[in-house]
């Protein structure tokens, strides 16, 4: 069975809420039923078939072609299946997803992976602000799974993140890992100001020393940390630069903080070798 | 049945159901991994007095360990998961946490688990941190040489303890020589340990004693110096009996190990003083596993 493919006919004039288009909710639907799904489109509702051409029948693998940054909440809350997105995607990509995989070939908007609990989101492009972060009013951001970003992320990546890992091959913006509760964020590029601001626990792992580290982080010196090998080995199956990292890179400088908030978090900066 | 001049008695070893767990110990090199493993498996020869029976299962090359360092796998057997868990926690705390450069990982999966680092982490006095990697949680406990890395829990399984056979020889040296050959062969078998010193025990025991407070006492029918004053299982030429006890993750592992050991002992041969192979049982009424020597060797 070929993948269920939705091809956006024209660039929409308004934002489209794609939360209803989830592989796990399409499994019992025929293509004609899929076409009759109602989507929020700006301040009104339209049928999916009015916006997308539909081909294929396998809902467990959903392909969205000709996607654009106005398609919000793709894969939100999904519990199984695989979504491939060709083109940019809007905000809330994979919002609160429970399981499954999203592969986005393009940039994604703000709050990518916010509240996700498990599964894998791979953005082969850049992310907006608040990747893996908590929505306003939420106590926790990402709660599990892996958010892999090939490009750069905006500000507040992993804000209030609780569990899981965010892996950024490019640069991260300001306040990366701010108010983080736990989890891991690794950045191979540069990092903006005030990483780990207000973090309680968790690990920020950086290739390069950030331009500024908050004054409430204390330098604990250079160390060889054995758990890094386990972490690096866990990257080995990823389709990413992270899988090519030398698993012997265990030597880091450790900054402990944020001492204003428990201080059990850490910024680890790889030592050149 | 006679192999290389050695008589195989028509008897069986009687073994018991136990609980077993495995942990993987790694360190900066094999030397320090072995120090830690030997400490952890020390004083663990018999549940009668040690709580658990434990031993080194195998040395692991770096490419087979979770953190890519030299390692050793250790098996521990207890009569219940409660006892096993308590002994495991004590031994991790006193023997692995204390050993320089070591880390410890689960060696078994499954839904049934025992605490490994779940309580040891409190040694960190609030400075400990956890890291969830994949589905497995690890604890990083700060210690004076860096961090003690310890997986949160390890699985356990039902297992078999008390498989055994005895080597009856015309002298102590000849019995020991045959047992050393047997142990060398049995150590190549996975999923088993021989918990006694060097894998060999000389103090085979029976249940009970004339002294009411003792749960076990010497098995006089196999003591060569008592041949003239008690019932005996020994013929006049037998001067020494040594026993090898083997515990395994399942009964087929025990069977494979017993066969390897008996064959190696028989290979030494009657010419070298090895006269009989026998086994210890309690009439078949206590243990649910019976390993008949002649069936194993058939």
Using the predicted structure, report yes or no on whether residue A273 has a pLDDT greater than 60: no
DSSP state at residue B29 = S
| Residue A128 phi, psi (nearest 5) | -80, -155
Indicate the residue among B126, B157, B188 that finishes a domain.
B157
Token code pair at residue A32: 């004609």
**Domain assignments of chain A as residue spans, ordered by start:** 110-270
Complex ipTM: 0.91
SS3 (DSSP) at A55: strand
As for how many domains chain B has, the answer is 2
Return the closest-CA partner of residue B242 out of B211, B202, B206, B203.
B202
| B110 at A interface, C-beta within 8 A | no
Q: What is the pLDDT of residue B236?
A: 93
> Is B5 in CB contact (< 8 Å) with chain A?
no
Side-by-side strand order, sheet with A44-47: A44-47, A38-41, A16-17, A71-72
B256: number of CA atoms within 13 Å, CB side? 13
Arithmetic mean of pLDDT, B71-81:
97
B145: Cα separation from own chain's centroid = 31
Same domain, B101 and B185: no
How far apart, in whole angstroms, are the C-alpha atoms of residue A185 and residue A33?
Answer: 41
Mean pLDDT over each residue of chain B, to the nearest integer: 95
In this prediction, residue A1 has a pLDDT band, given cuts at 50, 70 and 90, of confident
Alpha helices in chain B (DSSP H): 30-40, 47-50, 81-91, 172-186, 251-268, 293-297
Cis check: omega of the bond before A258, within 30 degrees of 0: yes
CA distance B124 to chain A (A): 12
Contact check, Cβ <8 Å, B147/A266: no
Q: For B129, which of A224, A247, A264 is closest by C-beta distance?
A: A264
Reported as a single tens digit per residue, the pLDDT across B163-200 is 999 999 999 999 999 999 999 999 999 999 999 999 99
Nearest Cα to A78, choosing from A114, A102, A105? A102
Q: Are residues B274 and B293 in the same domain?
A: yes
Is A242 in contact with A235 (CB distance < 8 Å)? yes
The domain containing residue B220 runs over which residues? 2-14+161-297
When mean pLDDT is compared across A60-74, A202-216, B11-25, B201-215, the lowest value belongs to: B201-215
Mark whether B118 and B201 lie in a shared domain: no
- Report the pLDDT averaged over residues A84-90: 97
CA–CA min distance A227, chain B (Å): 7
Q: What is the mean pLDDT of residues A227-235?
A: 96
- Tell whether A231 lies on the interface with B, counting CB pairs under 8 A: yes
| Cβ neighbours for B213, distance < 8 A, ≥ 6 positions apart | none
Q: What percent of chain A has pLDDT over 70?
A: 100
* Integer angstrom CA distances of residue A81 from A47, A93, A235, B105: 23, 15, 22, 32
Residue B286: its pLDDT value, please? 80
Q: Predicted confidence band at B215 (pLDDT cuts at 50, 70, 90)?
A: confident
Contact by Cβ (8 Å): A185, A205: yes
Beta partners for B161? B16
CATH of the domain at B209: 3.30.70.520
> What is chain A's mean pLDDT, rounded?
95
Q: Does B109 share its domain with B196? A: no
A260 touches chain B (CB under 8 A): no
Condensed to tens digits (0 to 9), the pLDDT of residues A7-64 reads 999 999 999 999 999 999 988 888 889 999 999 999 999 999 999 999 998 889 999 9
Nearest to A40 by CA among A55, A53, A51, A54: A51
Cβ contact A227–B131 (<8 Å): yes
Chain B residues touching A225 at Cβ < 8 A: 140, 146-147
Residues B140 and B93 in one domain: yes
Per-residue pLDDT band at B139 (split at 50, 70, 90): very high
Cβ(A167)–Cβ(A127) under 8 Å?
A: no
Shared domain for B38 and B10, answered yes or no, is no
State both tokens at A78: 């999904």
B127 and B148, same domain (yes or no): yes
Say if residue B10 is in the same domain as residue B21. no
- Identify the domain boundary among B109, B137, B157: B157
- Statement to judge: residues B61 and B100 lie in one domain: yes
Of B157, B189, B205, the domain-final residue: B157
Residues 6+ apart with CB under 8 A from B164: B13, B15, B243, B244, B245, B246, B258, B279, B280
Q: For an interface test with A, give the residue of B28, B64, B67 to mutate (most A CBs within 10 A).
A: B67
Identify whether the C-beta of residue A64 lies closer than 8 Å to the C-beta of residue A56: no
Who among A224, A230, A233 is closest to B138 (CB)? A230
Q: Are residues B93 and B170 in the same domain?
A: no
> Alpha-carbon distance B252 to A265, whole Å?
48
Q: Nearest Cα to B234, choosing from B278, B204, B190, B273?
A: B278
CA dist B81 and A191 (Å) reads: 49
> How much of chain B exceeds pLDDT 70, in percent?
100
């Amino acid at each position: 069975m070929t993948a269920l493919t939705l091809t956006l006919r024209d660039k929409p004039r308004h934002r489209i809420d794609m939360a209803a288009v989830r592989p796990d909710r399409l499994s019992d639907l025929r293509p004609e039923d899929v076409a009759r799904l109602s989507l929020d489109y700006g301040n009104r509702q339209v049928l999916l078939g009015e916006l997308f051409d539909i081909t294929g029948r396998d809902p467990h693998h959903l392909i969205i072609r000709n996607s654009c940054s106005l398609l919000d909440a793709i894969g939100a809350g999904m519990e199984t299946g695989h979504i491939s997105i060709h083109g940019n995607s809007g905000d809330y990509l994979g919002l609160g997803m429970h399981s499954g995989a999203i592969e986005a070939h393009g940039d994604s908007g703000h709050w990518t992976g916010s509240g996700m609990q498990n599964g894998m989101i791979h953005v082969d492009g850049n992310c907006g602000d608040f990747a893996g972060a908590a929505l306003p009013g939420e106590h926790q951001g990402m709660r599990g799974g892996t958010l892999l970003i090939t490009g750069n992320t905006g500000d507040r990546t992993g804000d209030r993140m609780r569990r899981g890992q965010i892996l950024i091959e490019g640069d991260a913006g300001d306040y990366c890992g701010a108010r983080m509760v736990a989890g891991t964020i690794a950045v191979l590029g540069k990092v903006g100001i005030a990483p780990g601001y207000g973090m309680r626990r968790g690990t920020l792992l950086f290739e390069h020393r950030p331009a500024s580290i908050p004054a409430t982080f204390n330098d604990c010196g250079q160390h060889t940390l054995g758990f890094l090998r386990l972490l690096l080995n866990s990257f080995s199956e990823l389709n990413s630069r992270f899988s090519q990292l030398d698993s012997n890179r265990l030597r880091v400088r450790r900054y402990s903080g944020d001492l204003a908030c428990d201080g059990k978090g850490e910024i680890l900066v790889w030592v050149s070798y | 049945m006679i192999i290389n001049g050695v008589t195989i008695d028509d008897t069986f070893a009687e073994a018991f159901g136990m609980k077993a767990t495995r942990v993987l110990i790694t360190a900066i090199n094999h030397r320090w991994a072995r120090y830690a493993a030997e400490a952890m498996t020390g004083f663990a020869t018999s549940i009668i007095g040690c709580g658990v029976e434990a031993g080194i299962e195998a040395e692991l090359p770096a490419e087979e360990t979770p953190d890519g360092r030299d390692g050793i796998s250790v098996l521990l057997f207890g009569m219940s998961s409660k006892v096993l868990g308590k002994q495991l926690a004590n031994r991790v705390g006193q023997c692995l946490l204390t050993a320089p450069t070591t880390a410890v990982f689960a060696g078994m999966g499954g839904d049934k688990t025992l605490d490994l680092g779940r309580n040891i982490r409190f040694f960190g006095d609030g400075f400990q941190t956890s890291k969830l990697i994949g589905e497995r949680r690890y604890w990083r406990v700060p210690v004076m040489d860096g961090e003690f890395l310890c997986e949160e829990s390890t699985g356990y399984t039902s297992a078999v303890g008390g498989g055994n056979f005895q080597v009856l020889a015309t002298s102590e040296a000849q019995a020991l020589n045959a047992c050393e050959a047997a142990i060398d062969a049995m150590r190549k078998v996975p999923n088993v340990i021989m918990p006694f010193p060097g894998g060999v025990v000389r103090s085979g025991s029976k249940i009970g004693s004339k002294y009411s407070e003792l749960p076990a006492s010497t098995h006089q029918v196999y003591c060569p110096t008592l041949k003239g004053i008690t019932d005996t299982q020994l013929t006049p030429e037998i001067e020494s009996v040594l026993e090898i006890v083997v515990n395994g993750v399942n009964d087929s592992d025990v069977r494979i190990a017993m066969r390897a050991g008996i064959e190696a002992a028989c290979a030494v041969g009657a010419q070298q003083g090895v006269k009989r192979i026998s086994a210890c049982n309690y009439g078949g009424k206590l243990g649910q596993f019976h390993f008949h020597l002649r069936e194993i060797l058939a």
